[in-house]
Amino acid sequence: MGPGARVRALMRAAYRLVRFPFRLVDDVVLPVIFDEDAPVRRAYGQFLRDCDSAAVYLLADDTATVRATLLRRRSAFRDAIARHPSSIHTESEVVMEHHRARFRERRRATHPPGNSTTLPPR
């Protein structure tokens, strides 16, 4: 381990320690004061995402990569719901139908048609 890797490892540890109170504020304090769609909460969440993205780039932090990806997906999902609230039901139906089709395919592959214990699809 070279000196650059040591410095980066030390900086990653420091970032994780510094990030803990920020995450605590986001998880405990802000939900009590503001609702989920409040501009303050959205801006604070964006700040945390930006910090994680910077840690990914500057510190090569794998855990920050996972956090940044999850936060980005959660934010995109919330934005999609805010734009099209009626699409929640439609998207969930599409996902469920996809899973049902996959289940039927696996079921047909492992159980011959004459010995099926489930009802045929409608």
Range of the domain at 21: 3-85
Residue 8: predicted pLDDT: 80
Residue 91: its pLDDT value, please? Answer: 64
The predicted structure's pLDDT at residue 89: 57
pTM given for the model? 0.51
In a domain, 30, yes or no: yes
The candidate with the shortest Cα–Cα distance to 25, out of 9, 13, 43, 10, is 43
Asked whether residue 121 is assigned to any structural domain, the reply reads: no
pLDDT for 24 equals 85
What are phi and psi for residue 24, nearest 5 degrees? Answer: -60, -45
DSSP symbol at 29: I
Report the distance separating Cα 72 and Cα 78, nearest Å.
10
Run means of pLDDT, 10 residues per run, the chain, 122 residues: 80 83 84 82 83 78 72 70 62 75 80 61 60
Tokens of 43: 């801006």
Domain count, the chain: 1
Within a domain: 50: yes
